[in-house]
């Protein structure tokens, strides 16, 4: 605490520890002081743990989120001629939907400011995927973002340092203090960035299942409702969709591998589950943006979404026609018997892709553009003994043993039938 401080951080910690509510002034002072460096990491770590254990009221959460937004700048997208709408996914295995969705919704007439992140652990990052394209750059200035939205209709890039800097510091601290799982803290983290980016409307894709951060439907729904409420209270029209993540989405998990699959979908092909989830999210986005009479599926089939994708990649320095890296080593995991593939564990596939080189254990780790897993069969498929079910792609043969170990118990062939979850589990409206 500095000599001129209005509050004492220890008293703020004790207030939340002892189940009392923090005042708006306490919350704003504590977060502002942390960003300035006037409060130590260990003190804010104690406050975060108190929040994880005791929660935040609706008022506290709104003030906490507002303080995070106000810690930096906001993008001003009011001058755009198109309505703005964005999408956020809580992360999964094989989730390349953003690469398809942004140009698809732009092809339907909206402006999509998709500020994205990098992968950590078993879930892939949108920026890592796009960086497998030669020349593509993730870092743009605010002026470049607005210009690209005006000219192309969509942008996928990194959030600038000026947007919600309190979230950057808090997230790094949560990551090393066991406080990531708090629903209020997750909600404030996601929504502060999305509100600061200036979008008028937002669709949330909250993943549920083995390969998701939220494995329990009830907790996923609680997270979705909390985020929808924050959006509503901040004037951002927000809808959440709960989607299944027991099984990898699509067939590819890995950076360049997912780009190829996304391009297949943009050209009118690709796996049905990726198409279905993408079209469902696009439909919700267009409804929030007030755009009527557009059929997202038709924009995939007629090539207009692919054209916008190519323009988006080129605008950020990438070559949409460039050959992507190919892994020098490919091995398969084969069916041990004939029958029906009844389980393909998304977590096992995600961890295998990560260990092959597609993901990172620490934020500073490098990732491989070519590494990952291809699902040659999906649950419900008939297979024969010895049939390849998974392809493992890597630049480094030393990764194979641990990657294969991650798949032990992840693949199950039985007598059937396969009774999987629907892709779209629930819609939550504000």
In contact, 394 and 327? CB cutoff 8 Å: yes
The active-site residue, picked from 28, 118, 193, 311, is 193
Mind listing the pLDDT tens digit for each residue in 151-174? 999 999 998 889 999 999 998 899
Domain with CATH 1.20.970.10 in the chain: 9-70
Known active-site residue 193: yes
SS3 at position 52: helix
Edge-to-edge strands, sheet with 411-414: 382-383, 339-344, 411-414
In contact, 378 and 274? CB cutoff 8 Å: no
In contact, 100 and 297? CB cutoff 8 Å: no
- For 243, 333, 425, the CA distances from 405, given in Å and listed in that order, are 28, 11, 31
CA angle at residue 271 from 209 to 412, to 5 degrees?
A: 50
Domain with CATH 3.90.1170.30 in the chain: 329-414
> What's the first-to-final CA gap in the chain, in angstroms?
40
The active-site residue, picked from 174, 207, 343, 355, is 174
pLDDT at 326: 97
pLDDT at 5: 64
In words, the CATH class of domain 329-414 is alpha beta
In contact, 408 and 191? CB cutoff 8 Å: no
Report d(CA 127, CA 136) in Å as an integer. 10
Cβ atoms within 10 Å of 40's Cβ, excluding its own: 11
pLDDT at 309: 98
pLDDT at 4: 45
User: What is the bridge-based pairing of β-strands 86-89 and 201-208?
Assistant: parallel
Residue 33: closest CA among 189, 415, 25: 25
pTM: 0.95
Match domain 86-161+173-322 to its CATH number in 3.40.50.150, 1.10.3210.50, 3.40.1030.10, 3.30.70.930.
3.40.1030.10
Report d(CA 49, CA 46) in Å as an integer. 5
CATH of domain 9-70: 1.20.970.10
pLDDT at 362: 77
Cβ atoms within 10 Å of 170's Cβ, excluding its own: 26
Q: Which residues contact 408 (CB under 8 A, 6 or more apart)?
A: 348
- Which residues in 253-289 are b (16+ Cβ under 10 Å) and which e? bbbbbbbebbbbbbebebbebbbbbbbbbbbbbbebb
pLDDT at 161: 86
Could you list the mean pLDDT of each consecutive 10-residue stretch along the chain, which spans 430 residues?
A: 69 98 98 96 98 97 98 96 97 96 98 88 87 97 96 95 93 90 95 96 97 95 98 97 98 98 98 98 98 98 98 98 97 98 97 94 86 98 98 97 97 91 93
Rg over alpha carbons for the chain, rounded to the nearest Å, is 22
The active-site residue, picked from 28, 88, 168, 310, is 88
In contact, 185 and 321? CB cutoff 8 Å: no
The active-site residue, picked from 89, 116, 132, 189, is 189
Known active-site residue 168: no
Known active-site residue 167: yes
Strand partners, 243: 207, 424
Per-residue DSSP letters for 9-58?
A: HHHHHHHHHTTPPPPHHHHHHHHHHHHHT-S-HHHHHHHHHHHHHH---H
């Amino acid at each position: 605490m500095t000599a001129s401080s209005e509050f004492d951080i220890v008293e703020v910690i004790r207030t939340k520890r002892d189940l009392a509510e923090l005042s708006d002034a306490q919350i704003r002072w504590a977060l502002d002081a942390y960003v300035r460096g006037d409060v130590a990491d260990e003190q804010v770590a104690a406050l975060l743990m108190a929040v994880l254990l005791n929660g935040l009221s609706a008022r506290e959460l709104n003030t906490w989120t507002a303080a995070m937004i106000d810690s930096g700048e906001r993008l001003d997208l009011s001058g755009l001629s198109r309505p703005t709408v964005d999408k956020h996914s809580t992360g999964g295995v094989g989730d390349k939907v953003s690469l398809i969705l942004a140009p698809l919704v732009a092809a339907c007439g909206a402006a999509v400011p998709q500020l994205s992140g990098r992968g950590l652990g078993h879930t892939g990052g949108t920026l890592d995927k796009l960086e497998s394209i030669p020349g593509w750059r993730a870092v743009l200035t605010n002026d470049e973002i607005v210009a690209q939205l005006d000219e192309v209709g969509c942008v996928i890039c990194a959030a600038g340092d000026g947007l919600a800097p309190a979230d950057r510091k808090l997230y790094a601290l949560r990551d090393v203090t066991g406080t990531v799982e708090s629903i209020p803290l997750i909600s404030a983290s996601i929504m502060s960035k999305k509100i600061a980016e200036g979008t008028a409307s937002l669709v949330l894709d909250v993943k549920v299942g083995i390969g998701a951060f939220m494995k329990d439907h009830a907790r996923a729904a609680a997270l979705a409702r909390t985020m929808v409420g924050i959006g509503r209270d901040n004037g951002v029209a927000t809808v959440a969709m709960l989607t299944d993540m027991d099984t990898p989405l699509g067939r590819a998990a890995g950076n360049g591998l997912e780009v190829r699959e996304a391009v297949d979908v943009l050209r009118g092909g690709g796996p049905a589950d990726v198409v279905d989830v993408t079209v469902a999210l696009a439909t919700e986005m267009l409804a929030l943006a007030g755009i009527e009479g557009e059929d997202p599926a038709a924009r995939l089939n007629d090539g207009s979404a692919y054209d916008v994708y190519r323009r988006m990649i080129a605008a950020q320095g990438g070559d949409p026609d460039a050959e992507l890296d190919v892994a020098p080593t490919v091995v398969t995991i084969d069916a041990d018997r004939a029958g029906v593939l009844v389980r393909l564990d998304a977590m096992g596939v995600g961890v295998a892709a990560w260990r092959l080189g597609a993901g990172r254990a620490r934020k500073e780790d490098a990732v491989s553009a070519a590494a990952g897993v291809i699902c040659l069969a999906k649950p419900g498929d008939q297979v024969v003994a010895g049939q390849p079910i998974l392809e493992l792609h890597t630049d480094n043969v030393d990764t194979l043993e641990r990657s294969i170990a991650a798949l032990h118990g992840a693949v199950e062939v039985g007598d059937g039938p396969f009774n999987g979850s629907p892709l779209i589990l629930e819609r939550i409206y504000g």
